[in-house]
Amino acid sequence: MSAANPLLSQAFLIPFQDIQPAHVAPGIRDVMTQTQEAIDGIIAFNGTRTFDNTIIALDDALEPLVRAVTISYHLMSVNSNDDLREAFNSVLPEFSAFFAQLPLNDDLWQAVSSYADSDDAGALTGVYKRHLDKTLDGFRRAGAALPETEKARAREISIELSQLQNKFSENLLDATNAFELVITDTADLAGLPERVMTQARENAQQKDIEGYRFTLQIPSYQPFMTHADSRELRKHMYQAYTNRACDGDLDNRPLIEQILTLRAEFASLLGYQDFADYRLEINMAKDGSSALGFVRDLTTKTRPYWLAEVDHLANFAREQLGIDTLEPWDMFYATEKLRIHEYDFDAEMLRPYFPVDQVLRGLFDITQKLFGISVTQREVAEVWHPEVLFYDIHDAQGKHLGSFYADWFPRESKRGGAWMNSLITGLLMSDVADDAGEPHLGLMVGNFTPPQAGKPALLSHNEVETTFHEFGHLLHHCLSKVEVRARAGTNVARDWVELPSQIMENWTWERDALDLFARHYETDEPIPEDLFDKLKRSRTFMQAHMQMRQLSFATVDLELHINYDPSQHDDAIRFGKNVMEPFYPRPAFSDNHFLASFGHVFSGGYAAGYYSYKWSEVLDADAFSRFKQAGIFNAEVGKDYLEHILSKGDSAPPEELYRAFMGRDPDPDALLARNLNAGLIAGD
């Protein structure tokens, strides 16, 4: 590999600051050549095949290519520009074809199969046997056992899906950035907190625009929809947000049709009834019908609480706000007014207690108490933007377990949302000397409220939850101790991967945890008891509504991948509207093009898997009960959780890992009890 190309650097600190668009295509082509040579060597090997010289050798051959592509994808997500897109898209068909062709290579399949039939393979146990089985399954699920004609078609579909999903993501980013609402009449700002107006004014100044600039990025959009008194402007913003990427050159609707059609065809080629069955075979749910059954059951249990909330909100809006009929653009606004009315609690009151630096220190303090780790910031130059921070994680003996980047604030070159990603999966084995092994490297990304007017970045409680959530993913990656990289960290079933992230959110609702970091940025005073009480009581406020919203996303995702048929239904958008209507106060609420911006499903890896958020939430609500019973900082429970879940990756079936930690299967009603203060509904 060319040492001159920083994209191909194998250094632990990735030289992000040196990687330019011109490095992407030649770098990926270079490493593809090297990878192919290594694979050819595995195929040509004529000695006795072993786990190391066949299965691990294949993993090692692919790692540099996966790393180069991951870094390129990452830069597209956080620093997108026309040159980078052009470079990435020029090589996307090539590496997509490479990955699609790999498991369809008959000679490679023969090499792996011949080892699988050997006595050495038959003697494998534990994670080694699991990895061999997963490797064989990966070949089969890619089409290795198909006849040649079908195999060729599987290859074509894989390549085309990669291109379509990437285009979907690009269109969504561009459509989000294409919109702006500039307000020059201060009367139109009525209801907005000073913080929100200051942010909008600074945003306008950065664009050399007079007035106040609002965008469809969440730190701008959501506060506007929550607080702006102007119903017409809320409607304008809402319609822009829910109809992103549905016209002109950025129209994602045709891509949705193509993606769904290709996914269904791919599943059919492999003998599955639908894409959901194909996708979920390797998840805890096992098939689409089980996942859909889970979602429908939870919907049925939630619906009575939701209907009561909707009626209550509608009555309040009519009697107190003069809104005779609630419209979609009224929901955030009316909900916040109801919260203030019933709890005397405005979520904005908490922001001064959550400066981002203090939140991070508190998060690191909590995880130190639970897992015996320390997190320290280190100044490094190898970052993709000046705002990016870098941290190291060490255990109690000082061993370097991993490091991570943190990028918290929105930019127009950065896609929306929050996420964690792994960059390097190390090898920290539990049965080797303390100083042995290689550390992990990952990243956390958010789009949080930025600092403004000389004040630090003050987070909402929801943003604090998100920070804890993503750090849970990061811990799953960086505290992994699995002897096979491919089975380490977050390389787990989609409906298991959210447990380590979602369980961390629970600490943001506990007084003892908040007292570690929630202090007023000016006075250093902790959250007053009455304000904390309001926060706690508000936890179940409108939770049935929020739960139904998530269930609507999970349902439409599964229905699209199980029951949508382009030959029988008019189009996917209309199909989706029909599916989502029962989850809204009125059918008219579904009159939008939400699917055109549903990046989780059409470009983000959650196809037929959005249900996993609620699936994992059941697990986290139940698992946290053990911490609550023993004490939220109980080190013994933390040690057990680290030993049986955080460190185990995919080294064993998740059901076994859960039972090892809890001593039993999960309680399916734990989520209802926590979110809705619900006992069993009569007749359950």
Burial of 371 (0-12, 13-18, 19+ CB in 10 A): buried
By DSSP bridging, strand 419-424 and strand 389-394 are: unpaired
Give the three-class secondary structure for 445.
strand
For the beta sheet containing 374-377, the strands, ordered from the edge strand earlier in sequence to the opposite edge, are: 374-377, 389-394, 400-407, 440-445, 419-424
Please name which of 15, 13, 12 lies closest in space to residue 4, comparing C-alpha atoms. 15
Contact 446, 37 (CB under 8 A): no
DSSP H or E segment with residue 443: strand 440-445
Q: Where are the alpha helices (DSSP H) in 581-653?
A: 599-602, 612-630, 635-641
CA dist., res. 417 & res. 412, Å (int)? 13
CA dist., res. 440 & res. 423, Å (int)? 8
Q: Which residues contact 19 (CB under 8 A, 6 or more apart)?
A: 6, 7, 71, 75, 384
Contact 572, 537 (CB under 8 A): no
Q: Tokens for 683, please give them.
A: 């007749």
Active site residue 348: no
Q: Which residues of 17-29 are buried (b: 16+ CB within 10 A; e: fewer)?
A: eebebebbbebbe
Q: Which residues of 244-262 are buried (b: 16+ CB within 10 A; e: fewer)?
A: bbbeeebebbebbebbbbb
Burial of 37 (0-12, 13-18, 19+ CB in 10 A): exposed
Q: Of these residues, 382, 463, 470, 483, which one is catalytic?
A: 470
CA dist., res. 515 & res. 508, Å (int)? 10
3-state secondary structure 138-198: HHHHHCCCCCHHHHHHHHHHHHHHHHHHHHHHHHHHHHHHHCCEEECCHHHHCCCCHHHHH
Please name which of 257, 51, 283 lies closest in space to residue 160, comparing C-alpha atoms. 257
Q: Tokens for 468, please give them.
A: 């804890």
CA dist., res. 113 & res. 145, Å (int)? 11
CA dist., res. 26 & res. 14, Å (int)? 18
> How many C-beta atoms surround the C-beta of residue 154 within 10 A?
22
Amino acid present at 472: G
Q: Output the CA–CA distances (angstroms, integers) from residue 387 to 72, 78, 183, 367, 418, in the order listed.
A: 19, 12, 28, 24, 16
CA dist., res. 402 & res. 399, Å (int)? 9
Residue corresponding to tokens 């006595």: 119
Task: Please identify every residue annotated as catalytic.
Answer: 470
